[in-house]
Every structure is written in structure tokens, then in C-alpha cells.
Amino acid sequence: MGDSMNREDLISYKEKLSKLSLEENKKREKYLMDMARGKIAGPQVGYPTIDMPWMHVYDEEIYFSEKPKETVVEALFNNNKDNLDTVALNYFGNKITYRQFEINILDLARSFKHNGVGNNSYVGVCLAGIPEAMASIYSLNYLGAVGMFMAPYQDEENMIKDLKKNGTKVLFMMDLFYEKGKEKFDRVVEKAGIEKLVIVPTLNSSIIGKFLKKKKYKNKKIVTYNDFIKEGKDEVLDEMVGYEKDKPAAVVYSSGTTGILKGVLLSNDSINNISRAYTAFGFDLSRGQSIYQAIPVWSSTGLVAVGTIPLFFGATLFENPKFDPVVFCKNLGAHDINWGVGTTELLNGLEKIEKSKIGKFKIKHRKLRYNKLHTVLIGGTFSSPKDKKRLNNLFKRIGCPAKANSGYGTCENGSTVTAELNKYDYPDYSIGHPIPGVKIMAIDENDNELPYNVRGQLAVKTDCGMLRYYNRDDLNKKIFFKDKGSNILFKHTGDIGYVRPDGIVIYEGRGNDTSVINGETLYNFDVKKVFLDDKDVEDAEVFINPNGNLCANIVFFDKELDINEKIKELQSKIYEKFNNKNYIPTDYKIRDSFPMASSTKRDYAKIKAEKDGYINIPYESHKTLKKIIK
């Protein structure tokens, strides 16, 4: 094959691959794995999906061995039948064992059945990370029903459309969500034809919950969670609905950073496969581990990556529904958490704790113990090398052995598709290696695979991905495509990046993160990286502001910096890199930090809507600015 392969050769080669028998494919996979582990030498063709050079990073025997055909609830019960006295959920002082959790699941299933929920029914679930949310995924799965895990900030029109699609009659909602948006949710209930709105008190499953008075609501369709459970106490459950290939198990939602929230339909295989992939990759989620669930359960990361996965393996899930950086980071240390997943914005709470007198005292006297935190996966928003370095230095100072590992994924792909591990040295802007069961490549505008180190749109094939979008047939036609020759179904991600010859994936930014300046389209993240690579810049965002100008929102390390001179220096660096004035922002806003959205990601909509606080610093000339740099 030689050291490289042209487009025609690639298509021809992939056509040959598509015709291989099962036995021939097994031999080829073994050859590639042996080659990746250095057992044999072999030529690289320069295309990621053929070479797969990342296979040396995980134990393929764990993942590629024959998998049980189980539903989500079957996997939970089967895997934990000898683990019933381990704590499954730790919630505000209440430690719910796997034995009790199984009882709670069956009690809820009885009430669902009593209210007409059965095989192929859909139920709305608008809850944060609380025990009732986790019980609902398994209770509904027991009956063959599907939970639609909806965000409270989802727009009213699409919430109604999704609830009506399959005739949803029951909607669960946390009391804090309902009370904050009562008028909106009352309209949703009426227009969507909801017959019963089950209000779940936030602290219902906590020790405190036993002493709280029952709230009263005017809406006659409302019933509180405990009363709902009582309705099914005499119901007799049939045998649980068994495994069926491609049977829907849950609907989760995208974060909404690129438009309206989109429902993503996951199957039993989607959810169970990612559990096996994580451990095969090297993550320790075994019994005795404590995992923090702080990501909203209406995303696949919240429901699956830090929800069903730990429970699949009998670990303990520490739950806190409050999406606050300081609360999140305090709990990491106060509750001996071993494994945490969060955005950079969430982990920034560690800096605030470390800088406060009380925080320093608690760390010094081991009231906050970060020595048990061995794995931290950051994702959801762009993380620069500087973010990782800053967090790693911070971890070291507070006695945490973990490193800030990047993780990349989308709800469409069942959460994480690439990740880093502490034992590997990853390059700048890396998002790690593909996890087991995942193939990833960069493609051009015609869906052709690009060779290593060539930028394009990232595309993913995964055993953990969605069946399709929920109630969005228009998008299903756009996201899936077949690889040329091998006919493997991939999914567009809308993200820009490339794959290195060692299998490491580099993420650069969103494909729609562009600005049009003087008729020229440019990627905002290209300009942003120039800012982030500067020693004085802590964080930055680049886009067209409401004034119609290319702007930069910048957080500097030194708050006493001469802003005008520094910005002129940065403008010169941008010109030197691109040799193009269109890439140079003219409006600047200096910030202390960036706001966080309810999804725990950066609130881009809020940032971009801000009109005030900008200063205009036009680019003068390259020659003049050379003197400033000198």
C-alpha cells in the first residue's frame, strides 16, 4: 500500500474491506491490534479508520468480548445481585443501598403501571440529579417505557411538541423548576394533554425531606411524588420487558449551545455499551468508587456517563442537583469523591475555595480532602492547554493526584467518544484517543475522509450512539452519512479538528463558530487561540458583537495590566499569524470571568447579547505596532 494513499486507492481499499468475511475481519482486527501494540511492523496508509493506531491504549478483550443482550434495568439488577448492601446513591445524608434502590425502582414501576404506563409508553421527566430521576430511568425501562429527560429551560413550543408526539400522559417535575416557571409549565401541561403532573420535592429522598411539610398546589392535575407512589402499592408487576435490538430506552437533550435543544433517542445498547467502553479504556468505576453526578440528567453525560455507568458497575453515585462551581468543588473534597466529570466552569470553583480563608483552613486541616480524587474529566466546553495546566497546578497544590483530562463527545454519540488518561502525555488542544467501539475521522465537505493532520469536520462511528433524533426527522437526514466504500454509518458532529498519526484527536472549535468580515468567512476559534496562547491571557472568546464588529472578550491574569498597550500587542500577533486585517478584532471587553449557563456550560447566548462595556481599539498599522513589541 505504501506510505500514502490517494482518494481513488482509498475508496478501492475500503470497498475490499466491506467484502471481507467475519473471519477475515477478525484476522484483520488482530493484525491491526498487534501492529498498534508494536508486536509486528506494518505500513500506515494515513487514514484513521483504517490504521486505528489508538488501539494500544485499551484492553480490547474487555470490550470486544461477547456482550450480554440486556436492558438497562436488567444490567443493573444482574451486575449488583451480590452487591446489595453497597451504597448506590448518596443524597444529602441519605445513603440508599442497592437493595433499597431496587425496592424504590419497583415501587415506582408499580405506580407507572397503575397510571397506564406500559411497553412503548413515553413519560416526561423534568428532574435534576436526584434519586427519583435515577429511579425513573430503570422503572420505565422495566416496563419497556421511555423516559424523556427534559430541561426546565427548554422552549415551551418544542417541549409541547415532544410530549405530544407519543401521547405522553405523565410528566415528572422537580418542585423548584415548577415554582420558578409555574405559568409556563401549566400551559405545557394543558397544551400537551398531560393528565398527571407529578411534583417531586427536591429534598424528598434526603434526611431533611422526612421533616418537610407537604406543599399545596392549585393545579388539579398535580400529585406529589409520595402520593403517586402510594397509588401503585397494590399493583402487581408483570415480568420485566426483555431486550430488543434498537428498542428506545431514553430521550436526552443537547445543550442548546448551537440552537434549540434537540431530543436524542438512546437505546439499551447505547447506554450499556458506553459502560463497558469506559472501563475497557481504563477508567476505574468499580465498587468502592464514589462518582459525583453534577451534570444535568437531561444530557447523556449526566444521565449516562455519571449516572447509569457507575451504577452499572456497583459504584456509589454522589448526587447534588445544584449546578454551582463552589458547591461542586467543596463536595469533591468533603465526600471523598474518586471520579469527577465537569466543565472548566464548574472546576473553576476550586480556585475560589483555595483563595478564601475558610477554604485554605479546611484544606489544611483535611476538612476538604482531595487526595482521593484520582480521575477528573473535563469537557462540555473548549479547554485550552492553559486551562489544563492551571488546573493541574491547582490540583497539585491542594493534594489531588488527578490530572485534568480532556473528554469529548456529544449527546448524539451517547456522551464521550474520546478521552485522555493520566498515563499518556497528550499534546496541546488534544481531546484524547477514541474510546473502545469508536471510530473517528476528519472529513471534507463531500464526506470524504481526510488523511492525518488535515483539518476537517469530525465524524464519529460509535456503538454507544443514538438511534436517531427524537421528533426531528429533518435533522436525521443531515447527521448520518455512509463512509465511502465500507458503508459504515458515521455521524456529523459539526466540530472542526483533525486526527494525528498516533490516533490522538485535536479539537479546534465548532464549525458554525464563524464571522463574516468584509465578505470573508473566518473561524473565530483561530483568532481565539492567538489570545489563549499569550502568557497574559487567562481566557477569551471571539465573535461578532451586537455592534456588528469582530470583538474579543478577554480575561487577563493581571488586572493591573496596561490594557491598551497589551491589546495592540495582541493585534500585532494576529496580523503576523494570518497576514490579514480581517482577523483582527476592533472591539474589546475586559472581564473577570465568563458566566455559566444552566447546562453547566459557558453561557454563550448571554455573552453575545451584551451590548455594553466594549472599548474600540482599531488596528493602526503593522509597522507601528512592531515598535510596541520591541
Inside any domain, residue 438: no
Q: Are residues 392 and 529 in the same domain?
A: no
Cα–Cα dist 191/182, whole Å: 14
Cα–Cα dist 497/504, whole Å: 11
Structural domain boundaries enclosing 170: 72-406
Residue 604 three-state SS: helix
CA distances from 595 to 314, 509, 525 (A): 35, 19, 19
Inside any domain, residue 205: yes
- Give residue 328's region: left, alpha or beta (phi > 0; psi -120 to 50): alpha
pLDDT at site 55: 81
Inside any domain, residue 132: yes
Inside any domain, residue 508: no
Q: Where are the alpha helices (DSSP H) in 458-593?
A: 473-479, 524-532, 563-578
Inside any domain, residue 263: yes
Which of 510, 538, 536, 535 minimizes the C-alpha distance to 524?
A: 510
pLDDT tens per residue, range 440-479: 999 999 999 999 999 999 999 998 999 999 999 999 989 9
Cα–Cα dist 265/250, whole Å: 6
The answer to whether the beta carbons of residues 609 and 546 sit under 8 Å apart is: yes
Cα–Cα dist 222/198, whole Å: 6
Listed in sequence order, the residues at least 6 apart from 371 whose beta carbon sits closer than 8 Å to its beta carbon are 399, 400, 401
Cα–Cα dist 187/235, whole Å: 31
Inside any domain, residue 1: no
pLDDT at site 115: 98
Q: Are residues 252 and 107 in the same domain?
A: yes
pLDDT at site 57: 84
Q: Mean pLDDT by 10-residue block, N- to C-terminus, for the chain (630 residues)?
A: 63 82 84 77 83 81 82 98 97 97 98 98 97 98 98 95 98 97 97 98 93 88 97 96 97 82 95 89 89 92 93 96 92 94 88 94 95 90 84 94 91 91 86 92 94 96 94 92 80 95 93 94 96 94 91 93 93 96 96 86 89 90 45
CATH number, domain of 599, equals 3.30.300.30
355, 381, 406 — which closes off a domain?
A: 406
Residue 3 three-state SS: coil
CATH number, domain of 105, equals 3.40.50.12780
The full DSSP string for 416-483 is: EEEE--TTS-PPTTB--EEPTTEEEEEE-TTSPBP-TT--EEEEEEETT--SEEES-HHHHHHHEEEP
Inside any domain, residue 484: no
361, 387, 406 — which closes off a domain?
A: 406
Which of 380, 424, 395 minimizes the C-alpha distance to 598?
A: 380
385, 406, 427 — which closes off a domain?
A: 406
Q: Are residues 214 and 337 in the same domain?
A: yes
Q: Are residues 326 and 189 in the same domain?
A: yes
Q: Are residues 119 and 261 in the same domain?
A: yes
Q: Identify the bridge partners of residue 149 per DSSP, sorted by sequence position.
A: 125
Q: Fill in the DSSP letter of residue 207.
A: T
pLDDT tens per residue, range 306-329: 999 999 999 999 999 988 999 999
Inside any domain, residue 497: no
Cα–Cα dist 539/414, whole Å: 29
Listed in sequence order, the residues at least 6 apart from 147 whose beta carbon sits closer than 8 Å to its beta carbon are 122, 123, 125, 136, 137, 140, 250, 251
> What total of structural domains would you count in the chain?
2
Cα–Cα dist 55/282, whole Å: 12
